[in-house]
Structure 1
Amino acid sequence: MTTGTLSQQQRSEAERRATLARIRKIARRTLVYGFMLALGFLFLFPIIFMIVAAFKPNDRVIADLSSIRAFFPNPSILTTANIKDVFERVPFGRLAFNSVFTTFVTVIAGLFVNSMAAYVLSRLRWIGRGLVLGIIVSLIIIPLEAIAVPLMMEVNEMNTALNLIITALMAILTGLLWAALWNASGTWVEDAGGGSLPAPAAWGLQALFTAIVALPLEILTVMMIRQTIDGGTWLNTYHVQILPFIAEPFSIFLFYQFFVGIPKDFDEAAYVDGAGPFRIYWQIMVPLSRPVFATVAILKFLQFWAAYLWPLMATRSSDFRPLMVGMDFFQTQAPIRWGSIMGYAAMVTIPVLIIFLLFQKWFVQSVSSSGVKG
């Protein structure tokens, strides 16, 4: 005879199975999180050692390498002498400014140039588009080390004609960015002022906003104008570290992959309203593509902040060299103080870690975004 209730034995068996399932689940989570913590701690070893060694006396940095003490600070011997030595032996402030300046200008200019190139490749139809896209994709696999010497020879032999061409291109790009920013800032100024600002005041705010945001391209244009007038070599300048790397195949490909996933209905509706390609790019594509803009910005920032080979080849003095190349000061000036080297490395690395921790959620979300659902 079947009943609607469970016997005591059946209930006990069900509870036992549920308990075993919970134990297995807890055990799996413990193993997974334990493995992840161990792996994370393993990857953190170099950073922990670097930060701890930055505050140790020089003679203890190497002496502690053979024991676990290399990763744990001893409060009785902690010192800031290494940090002071960095500022005494290296023009750290100048090197930091060079890194911030070249990285900021390259990233901002690269976002504009690479996204526009990807927009033309993904949304417009023209003869040779597939060939150009194939060339860009193939260029991704070529490392900088393979082209550094030919590129060095080219920039060393820049003549007046090429300088004029590059200057004209930079002026055109700056003008396009001005036009886009001017149109975009009009709505912002109107909303901020509640529609009651006099026309001269509104135009002044628009001009100020446009000039500030477009400053990277403005700086590059001024640099190229001065370069053309002087007629000198590109070596040992800021723009030799910036201009060759604004257009980057990998960034173009990332933008392209994102743009092709946006429904064509947006473009068609904008064309019906009388919008042109550039207006569609700025007022439709850019607002819809914030995740990929964030991804490219972070990746390019990390890439150019850590640049070493090209700045080492193309610069000759601390007036233009970035922080990474500044590490060579400690290798060429006797005595070699490993505590000072670790202090310098920590001062270069910690700001990047802080920036990543502050924006890691944004970065993860931007990388995981794949497009717009139609």
Structure 2
Amino acid sequence: MRKKRMINKFTLYISLVILTFIFLFPLVWMLVSSLKNEFQIFRDMQSLQAFLPPAPADVEGGYFHNYVAAFQRVDLLRYIVNSLIYTIGIIIFGLIVNSMAGYALARFRFPLAGFWLGVIIATLIIPPESIFLPLYVLVYDLGWVNTYTGLIVPFIANAFAIFLFRQFFLDFPKELEEAAKIDGCSQIGIFFRIIVPLSKPVFATVAIVLFINHWNDFLWPLVVASDESMRTIQIGLQYFMNEPPIKWGQVMAALTVATIPMLLIFAFLQRYYVQGLTHTGSKN
């Protein structure tokens, strides 16, 4: 039995390693291709050399020549800053608004609470594209076109985030809140002094979900941020594909730069992310 258990564990680990490499192949190929010129990219396409960096003697202008050329070709740094302002703004305000809404649904008893929860969850089935036109008209009437306000405000409230917060807060020990009330702490004080510091997993989970969703946004920034100075990174990447000549090395360099923030935020918050997914959904 012990030998069989060890064989099963070894098989599991080997399978996980193989799956890891399969999922990493596109990222590795993109990163390696960003270090090559056009000829090398297509020459190595059907061999293992596609996943290996070129020899230093075969590189003209250094390994990072495509990155330098990409930043010189378009204002890539400006697009990255715009995307960071857009996504971080949604995350900061979204965590505050959605966490307070989730806490209210988990703790407070008010008329039609179940109905409003159902309405919030029901909005998840509405395709975002179906409301872009009326949303754009509203943003236009408010004078928010080509502004960070127009990019951020419409997406602060998020039904999925509210649901995650509610599910997490349902498991939160009420004894801690009652003890704080006995000490004279107000309801808002309980939330920010007791609930928030002890809820890092769900906050990290929601932050990662919001960051990935809005860092990759294309349609809404394209509609509401038509000015070149307001373009986000996803809009800026289209320049490399639509404006000839298409330099695939520069395309891969720009894609690598656009991918780095997502990898970093997940790397730093993955421990809390897993905990958040584990704790949410354990109660109805």
2:255 — aligned with what?
Answer: 345
The answer to whether the 8 A contact 1:298-1:363 is kept is yes
2:221 — aligned with what?
Answer: 311
Kindly state the Cα deviation for residue 278 of structure 1 after the two structures are TM-superposed: 1.8
Q: C-alpha separation between the residues in 2 aligned to 1:118 and 1:22?
A: 47
Indicate the SS of the match to 2:58: coil
The answer to whether the 8 A contact 1:105-1:242 is kept is yes
Q: How does 1:344-363 map to 2 (within 5 A)?
A: 344-363=254-273
1:149 aligns with 2:130: no
Q: C-alpha separation between the residues in 2 aligned to 1:117 and 1:359?
A: 23
State TM-score, norm by structure 1. Answer: 0.69
* TM-superposition CA deviations, 1:102-136 (whole Å, max 9, x none): 22121111111111111222211211222211111
- Corresponding residue to 1:138 among 122, 136, 144: 122
1:44 aligns with 2:28: no
Indicate the SS of the match to 2:126: coil
2:35 — aligned with what?
Answer: 55
The amino acid across from 1:93 in the alignment is L
Give the gaps of 5 or more residues in structure 2: none
The answer to whether the 8 A contact 1:259-1:371 is kept is no
Aligned-residue identity in percent: 40
Q: C-alpha separation between the residues in 2 aligned to 1:251 and 1:294?
A: 11
Give the gaps of 5 or more residues in structure 1: 1-20, 159-232
1:254 — aligned with what?
Answer: 164
Q: C-alpha separation between the residues in 1 aligned to 2:15 and 2:86?
A: 39
2:58 — aligned with what?
Answer: 77
- Corresponding residue to 2:10 among 11, 27, 30: 30
The answer to whether the 8 A contact 1:94-1:318 is kept is no
Tell me: CA distance 1:264–1:360, structure 2 relative to 1, closer, same or farther (3 Å).
closer
The number of residues matched between the two structures is 278
1:128 — aligned with what?
Answer: 112
Tell me: CA distance 1:70–1:104, structure 2 relative to 1, closer, same or farther (3 Å).
same
Q: Which has the larger radius of gyration?
A: 1
Indicate the SS of the match to 2:197: helix
1:322 aligns with 2:232: yes
Kindly state the Cα deviation for residue 89 of structure 1 after the two structures are TM-superposed: 0.9
Kindly state the Cα deviation for residue 365 of structure 1 after the two structures are TM-superposed: 2.9
The answer to whether the 8 A contact 1:57-1:77 is kept is no
Indicate the SS of the match to 1:368: helix
Indicate the SS of the match to 1:341: helix
Tell me: CA distance 1:358–1:283, structure 2 relative to 1, closer, same or farther (3 Å).
closer
Tell me: CA distance 1:62–1:310, structure 2 relative to 1, closer, same or farther (3 Å).
farther
1:279 — aligned with what?
Answer: 189
Q: C-alpha separation between the residues in 1 aligned to 2:185 and 2:120?
A: 28
Tell me: CA distance 1:57–1:128, structure 2 relative to 1, closer, same or farther (3 Å).
same
Q: How does 1:82-231 map to 2 (within 5 A)?
A: 82-158=66-142
Kindly state the Cα deviation for residue 352 of structure 1 after the two structures are TM-superposed: 2.6
Tell me: CA distance 1:360–1:324, structure 2 relative to 1, closer, same or farther (3 Å).
same
Indicate the SS of the match to 2:45: helix
The amino acid across from 1:307 in the alignment is D
The answer to whether the 8 A contact 2:218-2:234 is kept is yes
Kindly state the Cα deviation for residue 67 of structure 1 after the two structures are TM-superposed: 2.7
1:240 — aligned with what?
Answer: 150
Q: C-alpha separation between the residues in 2 aligned to 1:72 and 1:145?
A: 40
Tell me: CA distance 1:89–1:130, structure 2 relative to 1, closer, same or farther (3 Å).
same
Kindly state the Cα deviation for residue 306 of structure 1 after the two structures are TM-superposed: 1.9
Tell me: CA distance 1:149–1:69, structure 2 relative to 1, closer, same or farther (3 Å).
farther
Q: C-alpha separation between the residues in 1 aligned to 2:135 and 2:180?
A: 41
Which deviates further from its counterpart, 246-255 or 311-320?
311-320
* TM-superposition CA deviations, 1:61-113 (whole Å, max 9, x none): 23432333222222143442211210111101111111111221211111111
Q: C-alpha separation between the residues in 2 aligned to 1:77 and 1:145?
A: 46
State TM-score, norm by structure 2. Answer: 0.89
1:301 aligns with 2:282: no
